[in-house]
A and B are shown apart, each in its own frame.
Chain A
Amino acid sequence: DGGITQSPKYLFRKEGQNVTLSCEQNLNHDAMYWYRQDPGQGLRLIYYSQIVNDFQKGDIAEGYSVSREKKESFPLTVTSAQKNPTAFYLCASRAPGGAYIQYFGAGTRLSVL
């Protein structure tokens, strides 16, 4: 069935290490998004992509990188430059149309060892 798959569910990062979070969708959506969620806070936009091979920085892009080589995939790399990476990361894709409705994956919880 259609949906958005994020993996892994839990991820641990060591000091100085880059880690990559996977996001795959089979909804045939053009636009995809990455959000960061901290306890008690809302969703903050990290990066978004409107179409393959194109992406834009969101509100908190520093210390993160993305790629969009395929329509179905939008991986997020948390680099060693991100000094406070512990958070819940959510990937979303957007349905066509002007309402901009987004559908979310189940999230990846990243912790620092």
Chain B
Amino acid sequence: GQQLNQSPQSMFIQEGEDVSMNCTSSSIFNTWLWYKQDPGEGPVLLIALYKAGELTSNGRLTAQFGITRKDSFLNISASIPSDVGIYFCAGRSGSARQLTFGSGTQLTVLP
């Protein structure tokens, strides 16, 4: 089946720093989604990407749909303590009937 490789697995950063994480796929995706999960809660959709090369922002978050259609990137600028959580990428190829999820990036923001 499809596989998503998400990296890094975890990050420890200082408050105010920028953050980058990415996902790569073994197959071409038509949709890329980025979710954030707070501790003990369900994931919440942050950004949805629908075509290759697309760059979309949501406040301090920016995500890009890679031009090869096999990768996606999420950047967080000027991190704050409430950015702490697990960030998941998810995607879907044209033939799949459900999403494939990455294993998540655990983000810790140090004061």
Contact = CB atoms under 8 A, between A and B. Distances in A.
Interface of A: 4, 6, 33, 40-43, 45, 48, 50, 58-59, 90, 92, 98-107, 109
B62 interface: no
> Would you call the interface of chain B mostly helix, strand, loop, or mixed?
loop
A18 B78 CA distance: 47
Contacts of A41: 103-104
Nearest to A33: B98
Given A33-B98, A106-B42, A100 B104 contact: no
A104 B104 contact: no
Interface of B: 1, 6, 9, 30-31, 33, 35, 40-45, 48, 50, 88, 90, 92, 96-99, 101-104, 106
A20 to B, nearest CB: 19
A99 B45 contact: no
Contacts of B48: 99, 101
